[in-house]
Amino acid sequence: MTTHTWQGRTAVITGAASGFGLETALLAARQGMNVVMADVMMEALGEAVSQVQALGAPVLSLRCDVRHAADIEAMGAATLARFGAPHLVFNNAGVGAGGLIWEHTARDWDWVMGVNVMGVAHGVRVFTPMMLAAEKADPGYSGHIVNTASMAGLVNMPNMGVYNVSKHAVVALSETLYQDLRLVSDRVHAHVLCPYFVPTGIAHSERARPQDAQEQGRKATASQRVAQGLIEKAVASGRVTAADVAQFVFDALEADRFYIYSHPKALAPVTTRAQEIVSATNPSDPYRDRPELGQQLRAALRR
């Protein structure tokens, strides 16, 4: 357990215009940090920046499409020039997409994997060397990299297609980062955030889909419409807020805890999956405790 002094230190946050990103930026500002805020939604980012600046925090805001290496590299250079090496990097930008896995188009795969996986990979690639250099130069330096995955990175619910794949990749990337950092560093730490259903903008990811990832005239498939409806309902019903999750993140940094959960009581399916892997048992019905939900999903998809 360590106690951090965040005053005067720097947080870099992608997906900062809403949800976990915005709430983490607000919490960082309240603790006296400099805040770098990046997003593709410029109008929403402007409003978010105003909220953070109102708390007295120095803010650097950038339009950043995390799919693109050059955008993250530019953000890294701008951060270093303005504030120096950051002490918290929150690779948080993410998008959601559901539906039967074979119904995703090539552009769906490029977009979701680009944001959810390569956005994290670029953040790790750009900021980790910067943080390790700061550690070497300053005996008082400590840094944290937090990557946003999901409970969908630990289990595989049906009809969640490319989203499951992308979030499993983020968990694997983060666990590897944790182990790699332990080989070379004592004061730069890795963490992975695995939230369950929390009211954020994730259910409306399509509005942030850039033009080069869109497909004119394409209509959602039946499975994708079903997934969208279920996601919207589940996210809207969440009782844990994005502000709660932001606090959970800072609590985990203080405790140097790698896995960060919004709903620890929802981990039973993770245990089941691990037991099935070890025993080479076929994956069980994820709706066995709530069979009516499974029946509804099957009926909707077989119409």
Domain locations along the chain: 10-266
List active site positions: 163
Q: Residue type at 248? A: F
Q: Which two three-digit tokens encode residue 254?
A: 């203080």
Residues contacting 195, CB < 8 A, separation 6+: 20, 148, 150, 151, 240, 245, 261, 262, 263
| Whole-number average pLDDT of the chain | 91
10-266 CATH fold? Rossmann fold (3.40.50)
Distance CA(29)–CA(32), nearest Å, equals 5
Phi and psi, residue 209, nearest 5°:
-70, 120
pTM: 0.92
Tell me if 242 sits within 8 A of 23, measured CB to CB: yes
pLDDT tens per residue across all 303 residues of the chain: 456 789 999 999 999 999 999 999 999 999 999 999 999 999 999 999 999 999 999 999 999 999 999 999 999 999 999 999 999 999 999 998 889 999 999 999 999 999 999 999 999 999 999 999 999 999 999 999 999 999 999 999 999 989 999 999 999 999 999 999 999 999 999 999 999 876 555 545 566 666 666 666 678 888 888 777 776 666 666 678 899 999 999 999 999 999 999 998 889 999 999 999 999 999 999 888 888 888 888 888 887
**DSSP label at residue 99:** B
Amino acid 210: pLDDT: 66
Q: Give the dihedral sign, CA 80/82/85/91.
A: negative
Could you give phi then psi for residue 40, rounded to 5 degrees? -95, -15
Read off the tokens for 20: 């976990």
Please enumerate in sequence order all residues whose Cβ is within 8 A of that of 245, keeping only pairs 6 or more positions apart, or say none.
20, 23, 193, 195, 198, 262
